[in-house]
Amino acid sequence: MAVIFLTFLAGLAALFGISILQYTLAGFRLSSIVIVAAIGLTVIYGIRGFANFAYGDLMTLGAYVALFVNMNLALSLIWGAIVSFLALAVVGILLEVLIFSRLEGRGPVPPIVASVGVGLIIQNGINWGGTTQQWIFRIPAVTEIPIVPGIGFHWIRDFGTFVVGIVFVVSVHILLTYTNLGKAMRATADNLELAKATGINTKRVTYAAWALSCSFASTAGILLGLIGVLSPTMGFNVILLIFAAVIVGGIGSPYGAVLGGLVIGLSQEMSVPLLIWLERPDVLHLEHSTAYKVAIPFIVMIGVLIFRPWGIAGRPPAFARRVFFMERLTQVLGRRGDATEPVQGEGGG
C-alpha cells in the first residue's frame, strides 16, 4: 500500500514537478487534523444521532483554552493541550446535561438548532469577552529542514500533526476494540434499546462519548491553530470540511472518519495545482482560483450523498442497497409517477 502510494507520488512529482510534494505534505497535515476532528464528531453522531453544528466552535474554544495556558500562564503548548483536553471533556458533559439530554427523542432538528445556538454563544463569546484579533501559539523556534529546494519540513507543524493524528487514531482503535467502554459505545451507537436491554449503562456511555468528542475537538482546534492562526471563526470555517469527512466516511463510523478525513484533506490541498492550471489565461482564466480549494471537499461530499449516502467505507444496511438502487432506478426511468394523486378526496375538508 505504502509502496504503491510512494510510487504514485514519485510519478506525480515527475509529471507535475516537485511542487506536488508540497501539496501532498499540506494535504496530509490537513488530513491529520480533519481525522481527529471527524472522529470526535462522528462519535456523537453515532451515539446521539444528530449533527453537532457547534463542533467547529468547540474546536475554537479548545484552541483558546490552550492559548490561555500557553500565553497567560506561560507554559508549554503541551500543557496547554492537556488542560484544554480535560476542560473540553467537562464542557462536553455539561452540554449533554444542560441542553442535549432535554432534546432526546425529538428528532434530528431540535438538537441541530440548539447546537447552532451553542456555537453562536462560543464564537461570539470569544469575540466579545476575549479578543477579536488573531493569535499564534508560542512554540519553540525550529528551523525548517529543506527536503528539496523550496519545500521545507517543519518538525512541529508537519511532523507533530502527523504524530498526533496517528496517536489519536490508534488510541481510538484500542478504545473501541479492547475496552469495555469502547465496546459499550459501539453497542449503544448500533442500537440504543438493545444496548440498554443487555445492561449497558447508556447514560454513562453517552457522557463518555461527549467527553471524548469534545476533547478531540480541543486537540483538533489546537492543531488547526498550530498550522495557521487562531481567530474566533477558525473552527466555524472548517466545520463543513469535517462534516464532509464524516459523511464521506459514513456517519457514525470512526474508521470511516479516518478514511473520509484522508480523502477530504488530500482532495482539498492536492486540487491546488489543478486550480492554478485553470487560472492560466489560455485555459479558463479563473480569478483567485486557489480560493476555490475549500469548495472541492463539498463537491466530493455532494457526490457521496447522491451515490453512496452510507459513505464510501460504510456498508449499507442489507436491504438499503437494493431499495436505494431501485429507488434511483425508478426515479431515473420516471416510473414514480405511477403513484398518481387521486383527484377525488382532494376537495372539501
Partner 1 sequence: MAIDSGTWINVGFYIYVSIAFAILALGFNLQWGYTGLFNAGIAGFFLIGAYTAAFAITPPTPPSIGYPGHLGGFSLPLPVGAVLAMVASGAVAALVALPTVRLRADYLAIATLAFAEVLRIFAINLESITAGTIGIPGLPAPVEFNPPDAFLNATVKVAVSAALILVLLLVLYFMAESPWGRVLRAIREDEEATMALGKNTFQYKLQAFALGGALMGLAGWLFVITLNYIEPTGSSAATTLGFAPAVTFSVWVMVIVGGAGNLRGSVVGAFVIYGFQWLSVQLKDLAPTELKEGIPYLRLMIVGVLLIVLIIYRPEGILRERKRVLR
Strand 151-153 relative to strand 145-148: parallel, antiparallel, unpaired? antiparallel
94-133 residues in contact with partner 1 (CB under 8 A) are: 99, 102-103, 106-110, 112-114, 116-121, 123-125, 127-129
Identity of the residue, 89 or 301, whose beta carbon is nearer to partner 1 in the bound complex: 301
Q: Which candidate, 216, 213, 230, 279, places its Cα nearest to that of 45?
A: 213
Among 93, 147, 240, 270, which residue interacts with partner 1 (rule: CB under 8 A)? 240
CB of 81 to partner 1, least distance (A): 26
Interface with partner 1, residue 305, by CB under 8 A: yes
Identity of the residue, 54 or 88, whose beta carbon is nearer to partner 1 in the bound complex: 54
Mapped onto helix, strand or coil, the DSSP state of residue 311 is coil
Among 194, 283, 302, 326, which residue interacts with partner 1 (rule: CB under 8 A)? 302
Q: Which candidate, 127, 126, 158, places its Cα nearest to that of 62?
A: 126
CB of 338 to partner 1, least distance (A): 9
Q: Please tell me the distance from the alpha carbon of residue 52 to that of residue 100, in angstroms, as a whole number.
A: 10
Interface with partner 1, residue 320, by CB under 8 A: no
CB of 314 to partner 1, least distance (A): 13
First vs last C-alpha separation in the chain? 65
CB of 126 to partner 1, least distance (A): 9
Residue where the block lists cell 492536492 = 270
State how far Cα 91 lies from the chain centre. 19
205-234 residues in contact with partner 1 (CB under 8 A) are: 232-233
β-partners of residue 65 are: none
Q: Please tell me the distance from the alpha carbon of residue 170 to that of residue 152, in angstroms, as a whole number.
A: 27
Q: Please tell me the distance from the alpha carbon of residue 283 to that of residue 274, in angstroms, as a whole number.
A: 11
Contacts with partner 1 by CB under 8 A lie at 50-51, 53, 99, 102-103, 106-110, 112-114, 116-121, 123-125, 127-129, 232-233, 236, 240, 243-244, 247, 287-288, 291-292, 294-295, 298, 301-302, 305-306, 309, 327, 336-337, 339-342, 346-347, 349
